[in-house]
Amino acid sequence: MVGAGRYAPSPSGDLHLGNLRTAVLAQLFARSSGHRFLLRVEDLDRVRPGAQERQLADLRAIGIVWDELVRQSERRPLYDAALAGLIADRRVYECFCTRREIQEAASAPHAPPGAYPGTCRNLTAAERAERTAARPAALRLRSEVADLTVTDLLTGPYTGQVDDFVLRRTDGIPAYNLAVVVDDDAQGVDQVVRGDDLLPSTPRQAYLAGLLGLPVPQYVHVPLVLGPSGARLAKRDGAVTLAELASDGVSADDVLSLLAVSLDLAEPGEPVSMPALERRFDPAGIPRAPWTWTG
Ligand code: GLU
């Protein structure tokens, strides 16, 4: 079976220009390399009512077309099965730390910044029983490495931390890093195109894929869109969603054209379509610097 690329939005609000640009790039990478293209709604948490429907409508409006759509909320058995395998392999431990306790322990001298400090890694059975009575546990991976190097098509080798990250949260919800690895494999995804804010999570995901015996996909982390202040584009940066832009007289077709210009795939004002962009697209030619949207 041919491999797949995907776009995986979290329905926590409306998509903005940065999200739409990443979706366009994900489809261009997939189609131009003969991949299927899938949409995955990452709705395990942070769901805002109506956001999913609006996201899908906005993606369609700019010409994104997917071969298959799945929702993570309907795939819990897959994540549970992967977790069960890791538990059987003794790769998992219960963690009872609160966020505050982690922050306090992590600020101790010699703790690698940002890493889980390992507080619950070697609890005795008696200590675990005592803590279980007090509060629900998260499940963490017992990582055997400190960091890992992955290769990204655009940024090259990237080395990042692999700590004892969370696999299942205290509320029982599978963590993003587990779900994304399980889903990408289960869906035949071998090309992961996403915003480069996720590059720091990638070594954890590649490590987990290895433990689960799964192939590591090709990673393509694309530059983010910045707002007028120079920080990552956000909703507060004015008209940044299709609905907001439409009320300023900018149509979905205009937005696709703007995004194409930002990718050096069209001249300013030139009408374009996704099939036309797919024919023009050359991965080597995409701008490496972030694109700034000034409205
Ligand atoms: N759902 C994630 C987000 O919207 C993206 C996950 C991914 O592409 O791996 O930030």
Q: Which domains does the chain have, with CATH numbers?
A: 4-74+223-292 (3.40.50.620), 77-176 (3.90.800.10)
Q: Is the CB of 205 under 6 A from ligand 1?
A: no
* Ligand 1: centre distance to CA 58 (Å): 17
pLDDT of 91 reads 98
Ligand-binding annotation for 176, yes or no, is yes
Q: Is the CB of 196 under 6 A from ligand 1?
A: no
Q: Is the CB of 97 under 6 A from ligand 1?
A: no
pLDDT of 2 reads 86
Ligand-binding annotation for 7, yes or no, is yes
The yes-or-no answer on residue 117 being catalytic is no
Mean pLDDT by 10 residues, the chain (295 residues): 93 96 98 97 94 98 98 98 98 95 81 86 96 95 97 96 97 97 98 97 98 98 94 89 96 98 96 97 93 91
Q: Which residue owns the Cα nearest ligand 1 atom 7? A: 8
pLDDT of 135 reads 92
From the candidates 235, 248, 271, 275, give the one annotated as an active-site residue.
235
Pick the atom of ligand 1 nearest to 205's CA: 9
pLDDT of 112 reads 74
Ligand-binding annotation for 8, yes or no, is yes
* Ligand 1: centre distance to CA 248 (Å): 29
Pocket test for ligand 1, best of 10, 44, 232 (most atoms within 8 A of CB): 10
Q: Is the CB of 47 under 6 A from ligand 1?
A: no
For the entire predicted model, the pTM comes to 0.95
Q: Is the CB of 194 under 6 A from ligand 1?
A: yes
Ligand-binding annotation for 120, yes or no, is yes
Sequential DSSP letters for the chain: ---EEEE----SS--BHHHHHHHHHHHHHHHHTT-EEEEEE--SS---TTHHHHHHHHHHHTT---SEEEEGGG-HHHHHHHHHHHHHTT-EEEE---HHHHHHHHTSTTPPTTS---TTTT--HHHHHHHHHHSPPEEEE--S-SEEEEEETTTEEEEEE--S-EEE-TTSPBPHHHHHHHHHHHTTEEEEEEEGGGGGGHHHHHHHHHHTT-PPPEEEEEPPEE-TTSSBP-GGGSS-BHHHHHHTT--HHHHHHHHHHHTTSS-TT----HHHHHHH--GGGS--SPEEP--
